[in-house]
C-alpha cells in the first residue's frame, strides 16, 4: 500500500481558512495588509485577459470578499452598477473576460454562493472602473 501524499502548505492554509471564524479571518487579513505595507510591496497591475492593465490605485481598496464569498456591501455595489448600466450578471462576467454562459456571479449575488478566486480578483478592477456608477 502506498503512502498517502502529504498536503503542501497552500492546501493546509486553505483548510485552516475554511475552518477559521470571521474574526480570525479579519485579523489575518489585517496582518497581511500590515506586513505588505511594512515591506513596501506595491499592488501589482491587474490585467483582465486581453483588456488593458488597470493599475490598482494607491489608496486602500475596500475588502470585497471574505474568502470566496462576497461581502454584502460588495453585492450592493455590484447590483448598483448593474442597475445603472442595465447589465445582467452574465454581461458582467463577459466584461471581466469570463465566458458569458458562466452563472457563478448570478449564484453569488442571488444565493450568496462562493466564487472562484479568479472571479473575485477580476471584480476588484471591474468595480474600480465602474465606480462612477456607484452613488
pLDDT score for 3: 80
- 117 has a pLDDT exceeding 80: yes
Residue 53 has a CB neighbour count (10 Å cut-off) of: 11
Q: What is the model's pLDDT at position 49?
A: 41
**CA 44 to each of CA 26, 32, 57, 58, 110: distance values in angstroms, whole numbers, following the listed order:** 22, 15, 10, 11, 31
Q: Name the packing angle between helices 72-85 and 117-129 (round to 10°).
A: 50
Whether 108 has a pLDDT exceeding 60, the answer reads yes
Residue in the block written with cell 454562493: 113
Q: What is the pLDDT of residues 69-92, one digit of tens each?
A: 999 999 999 999 999 999 999 999
Residues contacting residue 129 through CB under 8 Å, at least 6 positions apart: 54
**What does the pLDDT read at residue 66?**
87
Amino acid at each position: 500500500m502506498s503512502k498517502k501524499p502529504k498536503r503542501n502548505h497552500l492546501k493546509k492554509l486553505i483548510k485552516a481558512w475554511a475552518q477559521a471564524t470571521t474574526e480570525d479571518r479579519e485579523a489575518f487579513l489585517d496582518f497581511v495588509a500590515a506586513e505588505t505595507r511594512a515591506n513596501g510591496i506595491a499592488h501589482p497591475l491587474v490585467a483582465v485577459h486581453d483588456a488593458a492593465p488597470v493599475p490598482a490605485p494607491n489608496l486602500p481598496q475596500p475588502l470585497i470578499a471574505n474568502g470566496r464569498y462576497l461581502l454584502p456591501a460588495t453585492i450592493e455595489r455590484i447590483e448598483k452598477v448593474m442597475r445603472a448600466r442595465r447589465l445582467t450578471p452574465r454581461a458582467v462576467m463577459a466584461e471581466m473576460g469570463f465566458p458569458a454562459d458562466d452563472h457563478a456571479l448570478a449564484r453569488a449575488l442571488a444565493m450568496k454562493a462562493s466564487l472562484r478566486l479568479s472571479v473575485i480578483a477580476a471584480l476588484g478592477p471591474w468595480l474600480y472602473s465602474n465606480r462612477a456608477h456607484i452613488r
